[in-house]
Amino acid sequence: MLVGKPAPLFQADAYHNGKITKVKLEDLKGKWVVICFYPGDFTFV
């Protein structure tokens, strides 16, 4: 994935309004989205 290029479609868990829900990137089409991740967070990598 490169800055300024489209991200691949994916689905992820999210915490929203006190519960875990599924979020699909395609549901956010046409909106500004910031994708952040920690590739090695909480691992021994």
Tens digits of residue pLDDT in 7-25: 888 898 888 899 999 999 9
CB 42 within 8 A of CB 35: no
Residue 31: which residues within 8 A CB-CB, separation 6 or more?
none
pLDDT of residue 39 exceeding 90, the answer is no
pLDDT of residue 26 exceeding 80, the answer is yes
d(CA 11, CA 26): 9
Mean pLDDT of the chain: 82
For residue 6, name the pLDDT band (cuts at 50, 70, 90): confident
d(CA 18, CA 14): 10
Residue 35, amino acid: I
Q: What is the pLDDT of residue 19?
A: 93
d(CA 40, CA 24): 23
